[in-house]
Amino acid sequence: MLIRARAALAQGGGLIRIAGTEYEVEFAPADPTVFQAVDEAYRAKYAGSPYLAPMIAEGPRSASVRVMPRRD
């Protein structure tokens, strides 16, 4: 995933498809100030899951990107 995040940031934008509709988007580094809130939400939702620890590890954080509608 880290490779894909780096590629997305290097390209700066792309297309995503949601429910069959394509959208032009821009990619930016994720704001690290939101990581704690995201981790807490994962802890609440996945409490007791063996998958929780890998989801909140540094690797997934470093692969996080912000996806925004493309500005023209």
Q: Please, which residues have CB within 8 angstroms of residue 24's CB and are 6 or more apart in sequence?
A: 13, 14, 15, 69, 70
- Which run of H or of E encompasses 9? helix 2-11
According to DSSP, residue 30 is labeled -
The string of DSSP letters for 34-69 reads GHHHHHHHHHHHSTT-TTHHHHTSHHHHHT-EEEEE
Higher pLDDT, 27 or 4: 27
**Whole-number Å distance between alpha carbons of 40 and 63:** 18
Is the predicted pLDDT of residue 54 greater than 50, yes or no? Answer: yes
**Confidence category of residue 1, pLDDT binned at 50, 70, 90:** very low
